Amino acid sequence: MKHFCQLLLLIWAGHSLAQSNDLALIKSRIVTDLMQAKVSDKAIELIMPKMNEDGSFAGINYADLSRTASFPHGGHTRDLVLLAKAYKTNSSAFYQNPKVKELIVKGLDYWVKNDFVGDNWHDNQITTPTNLVNLMLVVGDELPKELVEKAQPMIGRANMNASGARPSGDRIVIAGILAKNLLFRNDFQAFDPVIKIIEGEMKFATGARGLQHDYSFHHREDRVNNTSSYGYGKFANAYGEWSYYVAGTRYAFTKEKINLLVDYYLEGIYKQQVYGIYEDISVKNRSISQKAGPLQPYSTLEIERVLACTDYRKAELEQIIKLRKGEAKPAVSFAKFFWQTEHFVFQRPRFYTTVRMYSTRNRNMEEPYNGPGKTTHHRADGTNYLMLRGDEYHNIWAVYDWQKISGTTILQKLQMPPIEHIQKDGLTDFVGGVTDGLYGAVVFDFKSPHDGTEAKKSWFFFDEEYVCLGTDIKAAADLPVATTINQTLLRSDVTLMQNSTVQPLAKGSRALENVQWIHHDKVGYVFPQPALIQASNQTETGRWSDITDQKNISKETVSEEVFKLWFDHGKKPKNAAYQYIVVPNVTVEQLTKNSGRNVVILSNTRDLQAVKHEGLGMIQAAFYKSGEVAITKSQTLRMDSQGMALLKTQSGRATALTVADPSRKLSRISVTLSGIYKTKGQGFVALPNEAQNQTTFLIDLPQGVYLGKSVTIQLEVR
């Protein structure tokens, strides 16, 4: 029995040693990570003189803790971390400098004596604990023990019972702060369950907060798209950070969890970034009213961390790294509809474009929490941004006309509704897209919850152009209604064809009659029927402080050259319509030779919007009700309900059919095509009718969390 007990003690000791070694490795990785971003000595030279005798910093308004003040106090604890990093960096002139250490102690003492608590929970549960725990990990062992203990309650506001630690919300970030503090305090027993909490957060949560089954991300229960904000930094990157820290230890995350993270990056996040390189402003919410720094590619750090944990989809991840480093050019083409979020993305190697919408299933926009975003009422009203480089709209927002948002149809109100009326539920359910992964179309049965303006809007996407249709446009208010084709930074001369004559457009703003096409910044806007167009290419002015209620925002007037193109439907339109084709990456000479683009608009009515691309042999259609469309003189496509269809043909025969139900009400959809097809497959039945020379297809639609997703059936393989 004695030997058995000794054996158990040896096993326990070995296990404890292995655990201790793992935790030491994790802690060293975190500290190395913290020290990775170098602090310049010049920055330290600027920080040190700002500290007052009592430990406060000059320039910080410590009295204002309001939500709209954006917690300037965060600068106090952040600068303490910078001082600590310089103090611990042997290449710094301030390495082990007693004066720097004295300032750190003095600044921390001032903080713990005052314990600044902001009106925004984020300040207290994330900002302050993050900076303080980082300070502890970098230099805490050299600080007075009494001071370290006094800081603990402030770090401890990051805990799993905190209001912000909501599942799939800021839970990973808060758990990460807690885990770092446990490592600092060598509380290894409590560390285990916190890591399990972090690992467990990588899961689908469709219908609630978190990762949706289409790989979009909802931070709140309003089902607004937060993929590029919370879903990127505070979910995916925070998760990837911890997967890297614990890799190769007993705490390592499972392969299933890491692979889901990779899928989310590649199918969700990177497909909502311009070429996977730059920020896509269409998925921004209230933060759009904050001035951004210079346009930069995203970091490669999150990918490098993931690749340290898995080889899953390695080549695709490495390609994103090359793109972000400028070592490769965009080469990927895809079409994706995020059916849980009503967001469509279409990319070709030379352009990237999106459509943002909302329905009865989600809300239009994020609320303007804490001040920013006060002008974003219409940013999901069928917004259609187009980017060839990624900088087309960069920092345009201070001078932007927020009632002429690219792609939208908006009542031109005398003033915008108050900010408490920004977020609204959608009023229609026939909102969605059809896509086979490479091509696609989008439909938006639009009714504004702000003013009742109505329109039936659709977009049809091909390799070198896309078609935009609108009809049944109505408004009761005695105000003009505008459909904006684009509003972007003016980056080149503007050229147009008017009355069959190509000519430059002088600076200014005016109505133009009989316009056949307009060209600006390598983009052509083609009008299949000569149109009356409103065009503006001139300097616009504004102030960043006008588009946010945050404090300390510049009131300086700024100016930008802006290109704006729109249809004026007049006051109280009853059945207005529009049609235009957008041709990215085209020259004036190419437009002059081929403005038709091999595109035929088959229908633009309140019941059916449909387009045929003769070069691709493709028909895309949105049926607002059951109906039929002639695709050639002798062939028709009929749908027996609402729905969308994408039909590929070759030599007069259909080769593939993709369908979707934007209303999300059907379990099966019925489509009838001219010709006899005897194909068989899972999820559909073909019913050929020899007498009428037609075939009806009964196609099962995705259900549950996949409602709204497209399904493709192969009719003939060639």
**Residue position matching structure tokens 């839970």:** 171
Q: What average pLDDT does the segment 455-467 reach?
A: 98
**How confident is the model at residue 340, as a pLDDT?**
98
For 265, 278, 350, 391, 395, the CA distances from 294, given in Å and listed in that order, are 24, 11, 22, 9, 9
Regarding predicted confidence, which is higher, 32 or 70? 32
Structure confidence at residue 5 (pLDDT) = 47
> Any long-range contacts for 503-512 (C-beta under 8 Å, 24+ apart)?
505/535, 505/537, 507/537, 507/538, 508/536, 508/537, 508/538, 509/534, 509/535, 509/536, 509/537, 509/538, 509/564, 510/534, 510/535, 510/536, 511/535, 511/568
For residues 110-135, average pLDDT:
95
Answer with the residue of higher pLDDT: 187 or 272.
272
In this structure, what DSSP letter does residue 406 have? T
Residue pLDDT, tens place only, 273-297: 999 999 999 999 999 999 999 999 9
Residue 508, Ramachandran bin (φ over 0: left; ψ between -120 and 50: alpha; else beta):
left
φ/ψ region of 215 (left if φ > 0, alpha if ψ in -120 to 50, else beta) reads left
Could you tell me which of 357, 622, 598 has the C-alpha nearest to residue 471? 622
Of the candidates 440, 433, 439, 274, the one whose C-alpha atom is nearest the C-alpha of residue 353 is: 274
Beta bridge partners of 700: 668
Question: What is the C-alpha to C-alpha distance for residues 185 and 91, in angstroms, rounded to an integer?
Answer: 28
Mean pLDDT of 395-423: 96
Give the pLDDT confidence of 631-688 residue by residue, as tens digits.
999 999 999 999 999 999 999 999 999 999 999 999 999 999 999 999 999 999 999 9
Q: What is the largest CA-CA distance in the chain?
A: 103
Closest to 77 measured CA to CA, from 128, 136, 137, 142: 128
User: What torsion do the CA atoms of 203, 207, 211, 213 make, to the nearest 10 degrees?
Assistant: 90
Q: Set out the domains of the chain in order of their start, with CATH numbers.
A: 37-168 (1.50.10.100), 202-328 (1.50.10.100), 333-595 (2.70.98.10), 598-718 (2.60.220.10)
Residue 385's nearest CA partner among 241, 582, 639, 659 is 582
* Length of the chain, in residues: 718
Of residues 254 and 67, more confidence is placed in 254
Q: What is the mean pLDDT of the chain?
A: 95
Q: What is the spatial distance between Cα 333 and Cα 608, in angstroms, rounded to a whole number?
A: 28
Strands (DSSP E) contained in 277-324 are 278-279
Q: Which residues does 483 contact at the CB level (< 8 Å), separation at least 6?
A: 408, 409, 455, 470, 473, 566, 567, 569, 578
- Secondary-structure percent of the chain, ordered helix, strand, coil, rounded to 5: 30, 30, 40
Q: What is the mean pLDDT of residues 270-275?
A: 98
pLDDT value of residue 167: 86
Q: What percent of the chain has pLDDT over 70?
A: 97
Give pLDDT, residue 337.
98
Burial class (CB in 10 A: 0-12, 13-18, 19+), 640: middle
Q: Give the pLDDT score at 572.
A: 97
Inform me whether the pLDDT recorded for 10 exceeds 60.
no
Amino acid at 696: T
Tell me the per-residue pLDDT of 314-334, one tens digit each, with 9 for 90 and over. Answer: 999 999 999 999 999 999 999
